[in-house]
Each structure stands twice: as C-alpha cells, then as structure tokens.
Structure 1
Amino acid sequence: MARITPLNRYRNIGIMAHIDAGKTTTTERILYYTGRSHKIGEVHDGAATMDWMEQEQERGITITSAATTCFWKEHRINIIDTPGHVDFTIEVERSLRVLDGAVAVFDAVAGVEPQSETVWRQADKYKVPRMCFVNKMDRTGANFARCVEMIKKRLGAKPLVTQLPVGAESDFKGVIDLIRMQAIIWKDESLGAEFEHVAIPDDLKDEAEAARLELIETVVEQDEAAMEAYLEGNEPDEATVKKLIRRGTCGLQFVPVLCGSAFKNKGVQPMLDAVVDYLPSPVDVPPVEGVDVNDTEKKVKRESSDEAPFSALAFKIMSDPFVGSLTFVRVYSGILQSGEQVQNTVKGKKEKIGRMLLMHANSREDIKEARAGDIVALCGLKETTTGDTLAAINKPVILERMEFPDPVIEVAVEPRTKADQEKMGTALHRLAQEDPSFRVSTDHESGQTIIKG
C-alpha cells in the first residue's frame, strides 16, 4: 500500500495550555472544521470529543492525552491533546517528546499563567517549534496587547504578531491578517463556519500598518536576499513572507501569535492555515537520535523516511473498555505492518503486532500499516511500557529513554476485603504500566502494598 499523504504534509502537533485557557474547546473546533466531529462538543455540557475518560467529562478537564488524526487543505494533522493541570506534568513531557510542533493556547484575559510557563519550559527543553493562539477574545477584560507583552516578558519568547483583533470583549468580530492586510470577519449566524475578507476598518489602519512593518522587519532577518531587497525598498510578497515565517518558526527564532475565540468559533480556520503554513513536518525536524543496543555510547540516527529501518516510541498506554490495552506509538522511521514481529529494544523482548488503530478522539479505524510520521494505537502488546522503543528485529535501536521524576509521596493501601486483594493488585499493576511515575511495591516486613507517585 502506497503512502496516502506525503510526509512533508504531515503535522504532528500538540495543543498546550494552562487549565481553562480553552484548550479542549480549541481542539474540538479544529475537529469540527476539519470534518471529524459532527456536533460541536461543549466542555461545560460534558460532550467534548477529546475528553474521553468519564472522569474528564465530569470535571471538564483533560487528563489523558488522546491522539487524533484529522485533515486540512490536503495536510494530515495528528493532534496530541496535552493536559493543562500541573499534576499531569509527566503526561505533558511525554507528549512533547513525540511532537514536531505545538500550538500554545492562552487566555486573553489572564494572559500567561504559571502552568503555561511550566509547559513552555518543557517545550524549550525538547526544542519544539510553536505558535500561540490568544483565545477568549470575546471575554470581558480580554487584552491582546497585554498577552503579547506577557509572552515576551514571562516566557522570554520573541512573539511575531501575525494578526490583530477587530474589536474585543462582546464586540469581538474577527481579526486583521497582517500578511494579506485584510480583515477577516466571522458570520455569527453560520456558527463561525462562514467568514468574509473585507477591507481593514479605518480606525484600525494605523495600528495595522505599524504591526505589519514590525512583522516584515522581523521576518526578512531570516534571509539575506530578502533583507537586501527590503533595504532597497522592495517588500517581500505573500509567499515569501510565509516562507520566512516558516523558516523562523521551525528554527525557534520567534513564535507567530494569532488570536480568536474558539468558543464563539472565530479564528479557528486561520489558525489551522498557520499550523499547515508554519509548523514543521517530520522532514523539517532533525532525525531522531537513539543509541546502539549493544553499545549505549554509540549514537544511531533514524531518518524520517519509509525506506529507513522501522523505529517507534511508545509514549502512552491506556486501558480501553472495548479493546483492552492500547499502546500509542509515534513511528519515526520505516513501515510497521499488522501481523509482523518487532523488537522491544529496552526490554530485549519480541512483540507481535496485532490490531492497529488510527484513533479519532473516541472512534477508531482499523488500519493494516503505519508509516514514518504516523501516530497510531497498537492493541495487546504484552511487554511494552511507556517510553519503550519498538524497532525492526534486524536493525535494533534504543530511542532515548525518557526520564521520569522520583516519587514525592508514598502511602500504604489495602483492599476492603481479602477477596479483593487480587483485583487491587491487577488494577495497580495496570496503573503502573500506564504511568511510569507511579510505582507499586510490597513492604516485606508488614506485608503492606505501598504506592508511590
């Protein structure tokens, strides 16, 4: 079976944010506009597609990062939904490890919040190119300029403003696209599915001109020829500007900043365009580095290509009510087919690949093969835990073992009745498999079961 979407049209992205910045709503809208979700799910009525564990739907927060595939303008976007609560930092680290790019969502009222800083630093650590979406522009107290200033001061980032808001709070109507120098106004009656490009309102022209000047002066620094042409009075055209923004974003020189209101369906389509235009594909990021199985001092690179030997990283294990244990893997190189055997190089054991699923937030599609760049779920792997590498048996490699924090709390637990001892043991073992920062042991002196995390 040939590759359906070329690798340079893949975008493996995460949506990261502080709790309540509107991350799940933003993801929901992305799924809605890319046609994967028929009814818009609202977080506050417990219907959001990405929050698929019952606990999440009750509390309206995202606990486990589900992986979802959707399509936009002939590009395949794999979205990993990362948790925003500080308690789940390990999940965020793990998700960032397998991403090529990220969208950071900020609350236009609160600006940069503590957890946003934590996640931002983690993304710095893994050198993840990213862009920002200033959400909730329709809320009372929304302030775009202040938010941009906080991105600069608190995160130490270099924001590249590519849009300005038209109106704010209850008068928020749309955005000014500083690249095309047009305003995009959403139609409320179509639930935000329809919008029109209009001339920039007179009262915003001066502000837009000044912001565009700053945008152009920043992007031409990415290319000497463009810089020289600009100094001679020739402004770069739209295609060149986009190319330079892409180069600077992928090179971690700056972060494009967009704005909107996901809840009011304004600003989501241009954000999807920006994901496609500016964030890297698996081909744009350096090849993944691992170590030789027999000599951990020896570095091994795996190119992001179907021709390279197969390698993948297991970044999440979940128990699913219908298919049992699901192992989410990011395929870095080569092709994986269902039915074949691969090596778990960390455990030194072979695994047979059974069912392979492409996940949509809560529905799934059976597939027969996965290729470089794909993020898929494998059913029924016996030995693999989070952070393990799966590789071709004849070309084994260990892709960097993830480091997990030491436990900060430990408690003894016991079942209510003796009969439940085995059930409790099984459940705790499953939890430890899903979350390597959770540990279970038995105190030999007292016979108690100790859990740490």
Structure 2
Amino acid sequence: MHTLNLGILAHVDAGKTSLTERLLHTAGIIDEIGRVDDGNTRTDSLALERRRGITIKSAVVSFPLDDVTVNLIDTPGHPDFIAEVERVLGVLDGAVLVVSAVEGVQAQTRVLMRTLQRLRIPTLIFVNKTDRAGARHAPVLREIAERLTPRAVAMGPAPTGLGTRAAHGPAHADDDPVLTARLTDLLTRHDDALLAAYVEGDGTLAPGRLRRALAEQTGRALVHPVYAGSAFTGAGTDDLVRGIRELLPGAQGDPDGEVSGTVFKVERGRSGEKLAWVRMFSGTVRTRDRLPFGPGPGALSEDRVTGIRVFDGGTDTPAGSVGPGRIAKLTGLGAVRIGDTLGTTGTAGPAHHFAPPTLESVVVPTAPAGRGDLHAALAQLAEQDPLIGLRQDDVREEISVSLYGEVQKEVVQATLAEEYGIGVTFRATTTICLERPTGSGAAYEIIDTGDNPFLATVGLRVDPAPPGSGVSYAREVELGSMPYSLMRAVEDTVVETLAQGLYGWRVTDCAVTMTHSGYWPRQSHAHGTFDKSMSSTAGDFRLLTPLVLMDALRRAGTTVYEPVHRFRAEIPADTLGPLLPVLARLRAVPGPPSPDGTVCVLEGEIPADRVHDLQQRLPGLTRGEGVLETAFHTHRPVTGTPPHRSRTDHNPPDRKEYLIHTVRRTGTGGGPG
C-alpha cells in the first residue's frame, strides 16, 4: 500500500467537513455521518468548534481506499484561520478544493486555488451541495474556468434533479465520447507525444491512454478534474473517491534514507506534554532515537523521542516507529516549534504562502492580578499558532496579539476562558504597519570615545532593498577583527532592533552592513580575576548596536506602509451611487465599475483596517444583495502623518532615555581614560 496525504480545503461553509465525514463513512471508519450543525463530526473535536459549527484547528484522520492509505487533513475555511491552512500545505501530496454549487467561487476559494497552483499541489475540485435550493451547475463551471483555472475539466454531466435531494449525476464512463473529447482537447495541450498520436492516428485516442495521461497531468498540477455531488446525500462521492485513488500521486520516500520531516502542528496533551505533529519525507524515526530538529542548519536542537503515535483506521495509535509518507505525533521534543525541520538535511523553515496578520489588539485580563497567568496561557497558544505574534509592553504592562480578523479575536477570548479559566477583553483592533528605509544612512561609535559608555566599536550602514526582500546582513570588516561571539552579538541585535523602527513598526526590505568593529581583549588583574571595566563583552555590543542602528536609520529615513486589501463587490447597479461616497470615507480606491445588466462589479483597494467596516455596511447599502470579496494585496505608503506604535524596548531613538535605562541597569560606565 502507498500513502496519500490529502488536504480538504474550501471557503467557509462550502461543506468540506461534511465531505470529510462522507469519505470516512464510505471507507467504513464511521457508522453514522456526523453533522456540523449537530456538533458531532469526527474532525471538529474542540468544544468551541462544535458550538460555533466551524473548523478552527486542522485535524488528521486516516483510512484505507483499496491499496491507498489516505491521511485526510481537514482544514479551516474561515479566512481568520488561514495560518492553520498555511502550516498544512507543506505536508500535502494532493488536495480536494470544495466549491459550493449555491454560492459558487468565493473569495477564500480563489486565494486557496492560487496558492495550490503556485505550490504545484495536485488538486481535484468537488462542486458540493448540488442538492440545495439554488444550486447551479453550468454557471459554477464557468466561474471555475474564469476565476480559478482554465485547466479544469468536468468529469460528468450536469446532475439531474439539481437543487433537490434527488440530485444525481454520475461521472462519465471512461469511453464516453463527451469525456474523451474534453480530455483530448485539454490533455494534448500539455503533451506533445499525445498530440502526435492524435494527429497521426484516426483522430481519436484510446480511453485507457487518456486516463493515464489524465493521471500524469493531474499529478503534475497541470489539469484539475471537477466532480459534482453532495456530501450530505452521498451523490457523486464514489466518483470523487475513484479520482482520489487513481489520479492523485502517493507519497514518496526512502525508509532507509536520512531522516527528514516537517512539524506542521504543535499541541499539548492531557498531561501538559508537548505533541509535535510531523509529516515524514524520508528515513525512519524510532522511539528513543535522539532526533535533531530546528528551523534550519546551524540552529538545531536535539531531544530523545519518548513516544510515537501514528494515524490509522480513523484514530491515532501507539507505534514503535514511523517512516516516510506517514503522519505521526511525537513526544519528547520539548523545544520543538511549528515549522521546524526534523533531521540535519533541511535548508530552511517553510515559506509563507499567505500574507501575515495585518491587525493587532491589546488583550486585557478582567482580573488585573492575572497578568502572569495570561502571559503563560498566550505563550502556549502562540506555540500552537506562531502568527499570534505576542508583543509584550513591560512599561505599560500590556500584551498585544496579531490577528487576521474579528472572529479570531472571539475564538482567542473563548479559548482563554474555557481552557485556562482566564477572562479577557480586547481593546480596539488596530492595523499592523511596517517601515521601509527611504534612503541610505550610516553611523558609528568608537570605543572609549565621546559619550560612548560601552566597550565596543560598532559601525552600521542601512540601505533600502527591493520590496519583499526582507532584511539582509553583511560585513565590510574582517571576520577575524574580533571574536565571532561579538560579531554574532551585533548581527542578532540588528535583527531584534529592526522589530521596532523610528515609528515603532517592524523595519523590512533593507540591507544592513557592518562597517566598523573594535573591542578590548579580556583583561585580568594579577590575581587572575576578570576585570569587566577593561574588557569588552557581548553585552557591550548588544547594548551599543541599537543606538548605532537607530542613528543610521534616522539618517536614512523611513516611510510607514499600511496593509491594503483588494476588494471585489458585486452589487445591484442602482446601489452604486450610494456606495461610492461610503467607499471614499473608508479611504477605498475603486476602479471603473463594470455593469452587467442589473448587476455591477466594482473592484479596487481598501486599507485593511476599513475592511470590517465595509463588510458591516455593504448589506444595508445594497438591500442585502451585495457580495464582497477581499484579500490582502500589498502595503502602500501612509498619506498624512505616519502612525506611531508604542515601543516595548528601551527606546534607542531617544539616546538619553535609552542610556538611563541601560547604563543604570548594567552598571556600565565606560573604560579607563
């Protein structure tokens, strides 16, 4: 048997959890199909998920399909939990993208499909809810072709009884002329040998050859078979199961090779132990193995594996080992984090496929004495979701969390109350901006010169870099000009300091170069005791670097950029007039409207912090008929006065305040005169 790690992805309420239940029932894993509305589905195990009827955390369940073992991963559909989907993408061999036959292609559907295509993940499309009132077939296929991919191919005819419980439309037989014509037209575009066989033959291709070509091109994410049916009634799901079994490629990997795997989820067990959810790519991990892990080479930790649980037959069971292609829960890796690579062959952590959170809010405990417990609880939540991005302000005694939206805020609040017994409220949600250097700037400070109180010489230059390039660091000084530990202290501190620029926002898209270095070697008195007042330490460089970097950044100047979403609104044409002034007040920039009879499509850009307002106001402005899609697009320079973010460091842009905090705290007073 081979293994297939399969993701079920969709816009919220398209029915992916219901499809998961149907697949489990078809495989004989469950006797009765659970319902999201009843809160009894297998993969929505959290009480909060059952109560709200949405998937919040990804879940894995394993089942056999003939000679294929499927590890099915159910993912959240609500855009506020896109980070959970992010972590799953890197472990998939294939995916099923669910589209509602009623609502059609929605905003999250498009975001997911673009990402699946960019990562070249083989994907089948399932048009669900054909039994619901308002279900459509041909219009939804057109939407798929126009808004998702032109390389989709319908595997069956339009269902009969569309919009009723009797809706049914089995897939075409392999030799059906309608299907063979569709496949011939699509598959020959990507296969010259197939095209030659078609041209040189009698103008037909054998159904068996077309099926093999379909499997090959689906496996390369060149084409996307489309099935239609209902997860509720089971219509069309047998055909989908056949497609999963025959068209999606299984996992590969050498069980005797070097250990390589990815941690895509971290949670706590009943006893508080850390559980690392791992997808294995090669090698075999056994209980009591000492296993290296980390974000990449040079940053590895090592712990002993104390337990392994693999997914099998609808549940997770203890095992002595886990090999390639499998998904397992490992215990014993105390310092492991989401995104870590297992083994020594990894090169870097996972790439980010979606935009990071663009909102944040201060979390306030209802009982002031509970700040310590709140921080500990949020730290555990951040283990499970690193993009929560805790930010602690010790001066104001506040903790902020990063967010994708208001629903995520409600979930964090409910989780803290139910799992940790901590009541919290949130302050108003604010936008997370970023800073980019406007020009180049350089600064340096020399040891034992001027008002430099630290035993260190540091010079830095900041240059702008292309958007999206992040932060790079280089040296123009000889690596041997001072001990490597001091060099590393400067580099690490540069990265830490750039988390808060001149206006308090994270600085990105810049190149930082070390231009000056100098230190005093270790000095001791005659009796052999270390004399700090005459010897440079890493602490001197960590304390001086923020001052120099902020001085260089001030000379370069920075521009604050705010996150901007792309929006697409379908509205009744006669409501365009009242909507336009509202968009202007929300600082949205619409493009020219595209009228289509009684409907008007309006696309444009809107600041991220105004999206929620638009979502709230659109129904009232459009008689409840408006449909809005939004997705993060880019960052734009802020017009007017740049917003400031409160600092959580010792404020290195203000030299006097910074030195009051750092020199007094460390007792540093400079070297001998």
> Fold-level match, TM-score > 0.5?
yes
The alignment status of 1:433 with 2:426, answered yes or no, reads no
Instruction: For 2:335 and 2:48, locate their aligned partners in 1 and report how far apart those are by CA, in whole Å.
Output: 27
Larger radius of gyration: 2
Match status 1:374 vs 2:321: no
Corresponding position of 1:345 = 294
State the Cα distance separating 1:171 from its structure 2 match: 6.3
Matched-pair contact (CA < 8 Å) for 1:109–1:139: yes
Q: Secondary structure at 1:241's aligned position in 2?
A: helix
**Which AA in structure 1 matches 2:145?**
K
1:252 aligned partner: 221
Which residue does 1:73 correspond to in 2? 66
What amino acid is the match of 1:215? Answer: L
Q: Counterpart of 1:79 in 2: which secondary structure? A: strand
Q: For residues 217 and 345 of structure 2, what CA distance do their matches in structure 1 show?
A: 35
Q: Tell me how far 1:406 sits from its aligned partner.
A: 4.6
- Helix, strand or coil at the partner of 2:268: strand
CA deviations over 1:191-234 (Å, ceiling 9, x no partner): xxxxxxxxxxxxxxxxx744542223323445445434433226
Aligned positions of 1:302-451 closer than 5 A: 304-321=253-270, 324-346=273-295, 347-359=299-311, 363-391=315-343, 395-403=344-352, 405-417=355-367, 420-451=370-401
Counterpart CA distance in 1 for 2:51 and 2:248 is: 33
Higher relative contact order (CA 8 A, sep 6+): 1
Whether the 8 Å contact between 2:7 and 2:72 is mirrored in structure 1 is yes
Q: Does 1:25 align with 2:18?
A: yes
**Contact 1:336 1:369 (C-alpha < 8 Å) held by counterparts:** yes
Q: Is the 8 A contact 1:17 1:106 kept in 2?
A: yes
The answer as to 2:282 corresponding to 1:282 is no
For residues 237 and 172 of structure 1, the distance between their equivalents in structure 2, rounded to whole angstroms, comes to: 34
* TM-score calculated relative to the size of structure 1: 0.82
Hey, what's the Cα distance between the residues in 2 that align with 1:224 and 1:362? 43
Matched length: 397
Q: Distance in 1 between matches of 2:189 and 2:172?
A: 18
What percent identity do the matched residue pairs reach?
29
Query: Residues 225, 398 of structure 1: CA spacing in aligned structure 2 closer, same or farther, 3 A cutoff?
Result: closer
Tell me the equivalent position of 1:120: 113
Q: Deviations over 1:372-393 (max 9, x none)?
A: 11111112421111111111xx
Residue number in structure 2 paired with 1:175: 169
CA distance, structure 1, for counterparts of residue 15 and residue 173 of structure 2: 26
Partner AA of 1:84 in structure 2? G
Whichever residue aligns with residue 32 of structure 1, its letter is H
| CA distance 1:221–1:440, change in 2 (3 Å) | closer
Amino acid at match of 2:388: F
2:5–2:250 CA contact under 8 A, matched in 1: yes
Give matches, 1:133-212, under 5 Å.
Answer: 133-167=126-160, 168-170=162-164, 172-180=166-174, 209-212=177-180
Conserved? CA contact 1:405–1:437, under 8 Å: no
Separation in structure 1 between the aligned mates of residue 234 and residue 226 of structure 2, nearest angstrom: 18
> Any idea what SS the aligned residue of 1:40 has?
coil
CA displacement at 1:344 relative to structure 2: 1.3
- Contact 1:137/1:172 (<8 A) preserved: no
For 1:362 and 1:51, the matched residues in 2 are separated by 14
Structure 1 residue 150, shift from structure 2 partner: 0.6
In angstroms, what is the RMSD of aligned CA positions? 2.3
Is contact 2:127-2:227 (8 Å) kept?
Answer: yes
Q: Residues of 1 paired with 2:152 and 2:177: CA distance?
A: 17
Is 1:48 the equivalent of 2:36? no
Distance 2:235 2:310 in 1: 29
